[in-house]
Amino acid sequence: MITGSCHCGAVTFEVDDTPQRLVSCNCSICRRLAPLWFHTATDNTKLNGETDSYAWGDKMLAFQRCRTCGCTTHYLPLDDTRRMAVNVRMSDPEQINDVPIRRFDGADSWAFLD
Ligand SMILES: [Zn+2]
């Protein structure tokens, strides 16, 4: 179980899944927002709170941020509602300290760099 909330607490998530790895991506938006992604199934995830959505380019992903404090809490793929990712920067560090972080080259090769 992984839980998290934005800074003001208006948006929360609860994931009934255990991460085997977390992903740090260098794509044009991730390098600006600096999220740490836990990719999981939508069915495993409970979301609460109102978010604003941002999608761009080919509109494959919609990044979700709290309407009050602006923290990016998760993204939702627009072409596959079964998968999503939560930003575990919103989680207490103790929940994720032992999970390996993999670097993903979303800017270029779409492959892992490690
Ligand atoms: Zn908030």
pTM (predicted TM-score): 0.95
H-helix or E-strand containing 96?
none
Ligand 1 mean position to 65 CA, how many Å?
8
pLDDT tens-digit readout, 21-77: 999 999 999 999 999 999 999 999 999 999 999 999 888 899 999 999 999 999 999
- Domain containing 75: what range? 2-104
Residue 58 has a pLDDT of 85
Ligand 1 mean position to 20 CA, how many Å?
27
Residue at 68 is within a domain: yes
Residue at 82 is within a domain: yes
Residue at 109 is within a domain: no
Ligand 1 mean position to 9 CA, how many Å?
5
Ligand 1 mean position to 73 CA, how many Å?
9
Q: Considering its fold, how many domains does the chain have in total?
A: 1
Ligand 1 mean position to 70 CA, how many Å?
6
The CATH number of the domain where 27 resides is what?
2.170.150.70
Residue at 25 is within a domain: yes
Residue at 8 is within a domain: yes
Residue at 96 is within a domain: yes
